[in-house]
Amino acid sequence: MTRLLTRRLVAIPVTLLAVSVLVFLATEVLPGDVARTVLGREASDASVADLRRSLGLDEALPVRYAHWLARFVHGDWGTSYTLKVPVRELVLGRLGNSLLLAAFAFLLLVPIALGLGLLAGLHHDKPTDRVISVVGLALGATPEFVTGVILLVVFAVQLKWFPASAQANPGAGLLVRLDHLVLPAVSLVLLCTGYVARHVRASTVAAVESPYVRAAELRGASRSQVVRRHVLRNSTVPATSALGVQAQFLIGGLVAVELLFNYPGVGALLLQSAIDKDLPTLQAAAVVLGLLYMLIMLLVDVTYRLLDPRLRREVPA
């Protein structure tokens, strides 16, 4: 475990450095000019050239990268080229929103997906299993903006049970913010449940058919005891990695849901800053998301080892 943590903690900054270089280079080859975006097409070429100079865009690429990196590692994330607000404030604010939505969706997703997966696995090849599997697959294959629109039309426009916007007014309390997040969270749960439940189902089926479960049954353990003591723990271990993948998606990959439910998350910020070539914002958002992704992967691996004693004894590859 210590070796795993050491190796990962060394790999993280190296990977982030590589991410920042790649994003910087990729931005260079994108068409467009952020100075023109800021001033609009009706500004004169002279004004645009002047702004480019003041933003340092006329410097050589390695020089610009070195300047950015030196400032970033010293905690100066810079100012957004387009919005002229501090990047740290902008990115962390959006990230906080994304984390809140992700956490809320995750809290709904885990018990539902685990429960349905377990139920399907315990009734494999029976109607319950087939219904859960087919509905889960269908919902997983339906884009979130489709289920999102349906949820909005039914629950926001027609029934008016929930607000259409996931964005609460400034200063709103946590309960109000969560109320606004119900519909987007549900659309995400509908999308992700089938994927996680399939993993749980497969491992549940394997566990049910395993020798240790049969041995427990032969010893006279009740069905609920067998499920609780032997099946549940073994079937949730493989689901950990599936949940880790979903957690990564829920934090940074929600552009469609953020747009549809008008939620200012970090996914839409990343997209817009890439379109605008707002490099300070794009770099910071990419690095922060990269860091989060890697921390989630680390957490998944650690959890895996804690849940499965066999892995703790193995020498990491």
Partner 1 sequence: MADHAHPFTPSRRGFLAGAGLTGLSLLAAACSSGTPPSSGSSEATAPAGAAKRGGTLRVGTPAPPTSLDPVTMYDGSAIGIVQLVADYLIWLDPDFTLVPRLAQSWSAGPGNKVWTFVIRKGVVFSDGTPLDAKAVKASFDRLLDPKAKSAALSAFDGILAAGGVSLRGEDTVVFTLERAFSDFPYLVSAGNYNAVILKSDYAGNFAKNPIGTGAFLLKSYNASTGATLVRNPKHWETAKPYLDGVQVKFYADSQAEQIALQSGDLDALIITDPSVILATGDVVLDKVSGTAMTAFTLRVDKAPFDKKEVRQAIAYALDRPGVNQSIDNNIGQLGNDHLFAPLFKAAPTGIAQRTQDADKVKQLLSSAGVDKLSFTLTFDPPSKSYALVIQDQLKQVGIDVKLDQRSSSEFYGGDQAKDTPWLFTDANLVGWAGRAVPSQFLGPMVTSKGVWNGSKYANPALDAALTAYDAGSSEDVRKKQAEIIATALHEDVPVILSIWNGSVRAYNKTKFTGIKAHPSTYVDFSSVSRV
Site residues (vs partner 1, CB under 8 A):
30-33, 36-47, 50-51, 80, 82-85, 90, 93-94, 149, 152-153, 156-157, 159-161, 163-165, 167-170, 172, 176, 179-180, 258-262, 264, 268-269, 272, 275-277
Q: How far is the CB of 281 from partner 1 (least distance, A)?
A: 11
The nearest distance, CB 284 to partner 1, in angstroms, is: 14
Count Cα atoms within 13 angstroms, Cβ side, for 293.
16
Cα–Cα distance measured from residue 317 to residue 314, given in angstroms and rounded to the nearest whole number? 9
Nearer to partner 1, 63 or 275 (CB): 275
Helix, strand or coil, per DSSP, at residue 79:
strand
Residue whose CB is less far from partner 1, 14 or 175:
175
Sequence-ordered alpha helix ranges (H) in the chain:
2-29, 34-39, 45-54, 61-73, 87-122, 127-141, 144-151, 174-208, 211-218, 223-226, 232-252, 255-260, 266-276, 279-307, 309-313
Q: How far is the CB of 71 from partner 1 (least distance, A)?
A: 20
Rounded to the nearest 10 degrees, how much is the dihedral formed by the CA atoms of 91, 40, 20, 304?
A: 40
Q: Judged by CB, which is closer to partner 1: 24, or 195?
A: 24
Q: From CA 174, how far away is CA 181, in angstroms rounded?
A: 10
Residues with Cβ within 8 Å of 155's Cβ and at least 6 positions away in sequence, in order, are 161, 162, 183
| CA quadruple 204, 210, 214, 216: dihedral sign | negative
Least distance from C-beta 35 to partner 1, angstroms? 9
CB 90 to partner 1: min, Å: 7
Q: Check residue 262 and report its DSSP letter.
A: T
Helix axes 279-307, 2-29, angle to 10 degrees: 150
Min dist CB 20 to partner 1, Å, is 22
Least Å distance, CB 222 to partner 1, is: 38
Residue number, 12 or 259, with CB nearest to partner 1? 259
Q: Which is nearer to partner 1, 46 or 317 (CB)?
A: 46
- CA–CA separation, 213 and 206 (whole Å): 10
Residue 22 CB, shortest distance to partner 1, in Å, is 20
| 228 vs 230: CA distance, rounded Å | 6
